[in-house]
Amino acid sequence: MTKRIRLRDVVEDDLPIFYAHQLDPDAVQMAAFPSRPRDAFMAHWARILANADSIEQTIVVDGQVAGNIVCYEQDGEREVGYWLGKEYWGQGVATEALAQLLAQVQTRPLYAHVVQHNIASRRVLEKCGFRVVREETGLPDSSGAPVEELILILS
Ligand SMILES: CC(C)(COP(=O)(O)OP(=O)(O)OC[C@H]1O[C@@H](n2cnc3c(N)ncnc32)[C@H](O)[C@@H]1OP(=O)(O)O)[C@@H](O)C(=O)NCCC(=O)NCCS
């Protein structure tokens, strides 16, 4: 049966679910982004929800909270980002969620930073029309190794 994927505004009850998603060691490895302790995570989300200039949406799959997708400004560039619970990976959810966000957000260009080894995220972006424009060395990962990132753009 086809899954029903939709976006809606984030509500407070979603935050503990997002918190659990970003604790997953496989997700941390995939995104090369360290998980935040609970207090820091909640403070981070309080800040982004209070920012009128950013967009945060909960990804709902068949009525269940599957993850989040966000669009925010960083260093003068408007960025997209997303994170799904592992049980929802590999089913086309992120691609559909990003396509729905791109229909909502008319701003172009949009940017995304993806660590080189995150093939899934790169594919999500490319399937939605983003193209790699440059490479950058990002912040070190938890082992202290520099993280090689791809920068993608949707013009
Ligand atoms: C990255 C992530 C969002 C992908 O979401 P998803 O819903 O599984 O992606 P989709 O199912 O839409 O798949 C998109 C493409 O990636 C491919 N893909 C999915 N998982 C993959 C994997 N582990 N390895 C390689 N390719 C993968 C799919 O086959 C598909 O490509 P195709 O259509 O050419 O076959 C999800 O794995 C996730 O939340 N990871 C943890 C957080 C993260 O990395 N966020 C992004 C930071 S930039």
Q: Name which of 88, 139, 80 is nearest 113 in CA terms.
A: 80
- The Å distance, Cα 63 to ligand 1 centre, comes to 21
CATH class of 5-154: alpha beta
**121 Cα: distance to centroid of ligand 1 (angstroms):** 5
| pLDDT band per the 50, 70, 90 thresholds, residue 142 | low
Q: Which run of H or of E encompasses 47? A: helix 38-50
Identify the CA nearest to 79 among candidates 50, 51, 105.
105
- Over residues 41-89, the pLDDT tens digits come to 999 999 999 999 999 999 999 999 999 999 999 989 999 999 999 999 9
Distance 130 CA to ligand 1 centre (A): 15
Q: Measured from the CB, is residue 66 less than 6 Å from ligand 1?
A: no
Q: Residues, the chain, total?
A: 155
Residue (of 17, 51, 45, 27) closest to 120 by Cα position: 27
Confidence of residue 152 (pLDDT cuts 50, 70, 90): very high
Question: What's residue 137's pLDDT?
Answer: 87
- Among residues 106, 150, 100, 105, which one has the least CA distance to residue 130? 150
Task: For 2-48, write each residue's pLDDT tens digit.
Answer: 779 999 999 999 999 999 999 999 999 999 888 999 999 999 999 99
CA distances from 62 to 53, 93, 119, 120, 146 (A): 29, 11, 26, 22, 39
Question: Is the distance from the beta carbon of residue 19 to the nearest atom of ligand 1 less than 6 Å?
Answer: no
Where in the chain are the domains? 5-154
Q: Is 121 in the pocket of ligand 1 (CB under 6 A)?
A: yes
Question: What is the position in ligand 1's atom list of the atom closest to the CA of 30?
Answer: 44
Instruction: Answer yes or no: is pLDDT of 1 > 60.
Output: no
If you average pLDDT over residues 122-146, what whole number do you get? 88
- The answer for residues whose C-beta is within 8 angstroms of residue 93's C-beta and 6 or more apart is 3, 5, 59, 61, 66, 67, 84
pLDDT value at 115 more than 90: yes
Q: Read off the tokens for 152.
A: 């993608």
